[in-house]
Amino acid sequence: MKIPLVNLKLQYKKVEKEILKGIKEILREQNLILGKYCALLEEKIASYTGVPYAVSCANGTDALILSLMALGIGNGDEVLTTPYTFFSTASSITLVGARPVFVDIEAESMNIDPDKIEEKITEKTRALIVVHLFGKLCNMDKIMAIAEKYGIYVIEDMAQSIGARKNGKMAGSFGHVATLSFYPTKNLGGIGEGGMVLTKDSELANRLRKLRVHGMDKVPYRHELIGINSRLDEIKAYALYTKFKYLEDWNRKRIENAKFYSSELKDLPLLLPSAEDDGSHVFHQYVIRLEERDNLREFLGRRGIQTAVYYPLPLHLQECFRYLGYKKGDFPHAEEASMKSLAIPVYPELKEREKRYIVKCIRDFFKK
Ligand SMILES: Cc1ncc(COP(=O)(O)O)c(C=O)c1O
């Protein structure tokens, strides 16, 4: 049996007809960028998350950069974030001229540890980028209370967590700004790159709309601000708009798959993701942790099961961030997670027999 980590071909089959029909219409009309489907997608996601303003852009990295630019963060500012995330959560901070300041993660959730945030706040701290890693919401009550106390902005990097919620409150609706990625493998993945920024602040939304088109407002070639080119194509917006109607169903299936693993693997010497049944985790990835991670990975690979390591080197130990002065041992939980984490297939289209096979192979590994 061959089981990939994600199966985009299967997902595409479900929407192929609809997507091709829409693409034909868009190509005939030749209104190719930031048109009606971008606006419809923005409306859909704003109403789904309960955040009034949504601004689409080219990718999730730009969404972070645009957010920081719109908040006026730059030279001389510090932005707190987690060292255990995808690279661009932190690179976006340096790309606007500010300095990333890392805060270790919680051992259990692998999200930023709210109890370690305050000690990193200085008079230069302007913002905090939290990441709902692998689809699991951060402890937003604690985080927002700290942010309010110190008057700093909170950006939710929700690239991996669209649809996660706590007591009915959706990811993206807690902080001042939230950023999305529609990279094809995401829970809502496009047919290419794509991103979005969400905010409750109408002025910030106006600034974001200008910043994504070189800082222009309604009058062409008049630049109020220095922006970037980060527009979403209509074809991509249309595909996302089409796929959006399946998002809740896909997330539910991811959660079901996660529950299955958590019950079938619970007696093994593995650290499993927390499996609260409250929608606060939408399992973009199902990440298990164990000392013998690399051996298990190889063992599963030989049996046709694709896995992945997110993330093999925490950001404070990356070559490009050496100038920040961090060293090994500074963030022990992030370092441990990067040595032990292994993502196994959890995508919605996973079949029962495939899940059973994955469980069987993991169990066999521990029998050897
Ligand atoms: C947590 C996180 N932040 C940011 C990004 C960047 O998104 P993109 O690849 O669309 O630029 C990603 C996705 O890869 C991500 O997983």
- As a three-state string, the secondary structure of the chain is CCECCCCHHHHHHHHHHHHHHHHHHHHHHCCCECCHHHHHHHHHHHHHHCCCEEEEECCHHHHHHHHHHHCCCCCCCEEEECCCCCCHHHHHHHHCCCEEEECCECCCCCCECHHHCHHHCCCCEEEEEEECHHHECCCHHHHHHHHHHHCCEEEEECCCCCCCEECCEECCCCCCEEEEECCCCCCCCCCCCCEEEEECCHHHHHHHHHHCECCECCCCCCECCCCCECCCEHHHHHHHHHHHCCHHHHHHHHHHHHHHHHHHCCCCCCECCCCCCCCCECCCCEEEECCCHHHHHHHHHHCCECCECCCCCCHHHCHHHHHHCCCCCCCHHHHHHHHHEEEECCCCCCCHHHHHHHHHHHHHHHHC
Q: How far is C-alpha 233 from the geometric centre of its chain's CA atoms?
A: 21
pLDDT computed for residue 218 by the predictor: 86
Residue 257 Cβ inside 6 Å of ligand 1? The answer reads no
- For ligand 1, is residue 310 a contact (CB within 6 Å)? no
**Is 3 a member of any domain?**
no
Domain that includes residue 110, residue range = 8-244
* Chain-centroid distance, C-alpha 300: 26
One domain, residues 223 and 308? no
* Residues 212 and 184 grouped into a single domain: yes
227 and 307 both lie in a single domain: no
Q: Distance, CA 289 to ligand 1 centroid (Å)?
A: 22
Spatial contact of 232 and 169, defined as CB atoms under 8 Å apart: no
164 plus 302 within the same structural domain: no
Please give the structure tokens belonging to residue 198. 């969400």
Domain assignment of residue 34, yes or no: yes
Q: Which atom of ligand 1 is nearest to the CA of 133?
A: 1
Which numbered atom of ligand 1 lies nearest the CA of 194? 10
Q: Are residues 170 and 292 in the same domain?
A: no
* 115 lies in the same domain as 212: yes
Q: Are residues 41 and 189 in the same domain?
A: yes
Q: How many domains does the chain have?
A: 2
How far apart are alpha carbons 281 and 134 in whole angstroms?
Answer: 8
Domain match, 162 and 268 both: no
CATH code for position 32: 3.40.640.10
pLDDT of residue 175: 98
- Would you say the CB of residue 82 lies under 6 angstroms from ligand 1? no
Residue 59 Cβ < 6 Å to ligand 1:
yes
Using the 3D structure, point to which of 226, 244, 262 is the last residue of a domain: 244
Same domain membership, residue 353 and residue 309: yes
| 1 within some domain | no
pLDDT at residue number 281: 97
- Whether 346 is in the pocket of ligand 1, judged by its Cβ within 6 Å, is no
What's the pLDDT tens digit per position in 181-197?
Answer: 999 999 999 999 999 99
Does 146 share its domain with 35?
A: yes
- Report the pLDDT value the prediction gives residue 274, as an integer from 0 to 100: 84
Report which ligand 1 atom has the smallest distance to the Cα of 182.
Answer: 10
If you measure from the C-alpha of residue 220 to the centroid of ligand 1, how many angstroms do you get, rounded to a whole number? 31
Low-confidence residues of the chain: pLDDT under 50 = none
Q: Do the domain assignments include residue 307?
A: yes
Query: Does residue 279 sit within a domain?
Result: yes
Give residue 60 CA to ligand 1 midpoint distance, Å: 5
3-state secondary structure string across 137-152: CCCHHHHHHHHHHHCC
Domain end position, chosen among 218, 244, 270: 244
pLDDT at 368: 73
Our answer on whether the CB atom of 22 is closer than 6 Å to any ligand 1 atom is no
Are the C-beta atoms of residues 298 and 307 closer than 8 Å to each other?
A: no
List residues bridging with 156 in a β-sheet.
Answer: 130, 178
The residue with tokens 């990440």 is 287
Backbone angles phi, psi at 308, to 5 degrees: -150, 155
Mutate which of 134, 136, 160 for ligand 1? The one with the most ligand atoms within 8 Å of its CB, which is 160
- CB 163 near ligand 1, within 6 Å: no
CA distances from 193 to 69, 124, 235 (A): 21, 33, 11
Q: For residue 364, how far is its CA from the centre of ligand 1 (angstroms)?
A: 34
Single out the residue in 244, 277, 294 at which a domain terminates: 244
Comparing C-alpha atoms, which of 297, 269, 286, 263 is closest to residue 347? 286
Mutate which of 59, 66, 181 for ligand 1? The one with the most ligand atoms within 8 Å of its CB, which is: 181
The residue whose CB lies within 8 Å of the most ligand 1 atoms, and thus the one to mutate among 56, 57, 88, 282, is: 88
Answer for the pair 193, 183: CB distance below 8 angstroms, yes or no: yes
Q: Is residue 2 part of a domain?
A: no
Q: Does residue 99 belong to any structural domain of this protein? A: yes
pLDDT at 211: 98
**Pocket flag, ligand 1, residue 232 (CB < 6 Å):** no
Query: Within 10 A of 12 (CB to CB), how many other CB atoms are there?
Result: 15
296 Cβ contact list (under 8 Å, min separation 6) = 290, 307, 342, 362, 365
CATH (domain of 330): 3.90.1150.10
Does residue 215 sit in the same domain as residue 341? no
Of all protein residues, the one whose alpha carbon is nearest to atom 8 of ligand 1 is: 60
Q: Are 194 and 260 in a shared domain?
A: no
| Interval between CA 272 and ligand 1 midpoint (Å) | 24
67 lines ligand 1 (CB under 6 A): no
Dump pLDDT digits (tens) for 58-106. 999 999 999 999 999 999 999 999 999 999 999 999 999 999 999 999 9
Whether the bond between 12 and the residue before it is cis, its omega within 30 degrees of 0, is no
Which atom of ligand 1 is the closest one to the Cα of 160?
A: 16
